[in-house]
A = this chain, B = another copy of it.
């Protein structure tokens, strides 16, 4: 599959790009300009010389990808999405975007400053024909970049069940993870905001937390 990644130089975006490429997907590296995309793709090639990383500017990358992954800062949503909206129409768009702020007492999931109910909602609003799915926010970024076996569950939410299923299938590319269908996009803020809690746990206890779910009778097993 051709997977267009936007924000592939951030910790999580880079980790996803490496794992998708390692699983044999062609990764289209989107950025504001061709030059920045070239640099980002070069950095990814250094991390995984066997991977296929194709640099393109944002709009061309959105057009080239069968599926898109957005791992951009949330403040960039408003400027980044509208020019790509037509190219994303009909496609599955995975948002890994979180709105966090950092107070004295730790990371805080932003609620009041969001123009919509979540970052996922904002992206869906700006790219109304895209099939927005929120997922991967809570994966441990360092372990992901190092291609560790993660022992983590991925919570997937979005309006289209077909799109959620596509992301669940895509998650097979990430070793040691299992994706679970968490239902409607309405709960996107909860999945996005769990990242703030994970950051606080990491700070309090050290290491890099992964979430998992037990007790589900008919869920697929997490790969051992």
With contacts A108-B187, A190-B190, A214-B212 taken as known, whether A219 is within 8 angstroms of B205 at the C-beta atoms is: yes
Which residues of chain A from 149 to 194 have a CB within 8 Å of any chain B CB? 151-152, 155, 157, 159, 180-184, 186-187, 189-191, 193-194
- The answer to the question of A106 belonging to the interface, with a C-beta cut-off of 8 Å to chain B, is yes
Contact A211 B213 (CB under 8 A): yes
Contact B184 A108 (CB under 8 A): yes
- The answer to the question of A64 belonging to the interface, with a C-beta cut-off of 8 Å to chain B, is no
- The answer to the question of A41 belonging to the interface, with a C-beta cut-off of 8 Å to chain B, is no
Contact A207 B218 (CB under 8 A): yes
Contact B107 A183 (CB under 8 A): yes
Contact B206 A218 (CB under 8 A): yes
- The answer to the question of A111 belonging to the interface, with a C-beta cut-off of 8 Å to chain B, is yes
Contact B215 A210 (CB under 8 A): yes
- The answer to the question of A115 belonging to the interface, with a C-beta cut-off of 8 Å to chain B, is no
**Contact residue among B103, B187, B208, B214 (Cβ-Cβ distance under 8 Å from A109):** B187
- Provide a sorted-by-A list of 26 A–B residue pairs whose CB atoms are within 8 angstroms: A103-B184, A103-B186, A106-B184, A106-B186, A108-B186, A109-B189, A109-B190, A111-B111, A111-B189, A180-B201, A180-B204, A180-B205, A181-B200, A181-B205, A183-B197, A184-B200, A190-B197, A191-B197, A201-B219, A202-B216, A205-B218, A206-B218, A209-B215, A209-B216, A210-B214, A212-B214
The 8 closest A-B pairs by CB, nearest first: A183-B200, A207-B217, A190-B193, A205-B216, A206-B217, A106-B183, A105-B184, A205-B219
Taking A151-B214, A206-B216, A210-B213 as known contacts, 6 extra A-B pairs with beta carbons closer than 8 A to each other, sorted by chain A number, are A103-B184, A108-B186, A181-B205, A183-B197, A184-B200, A190-B193
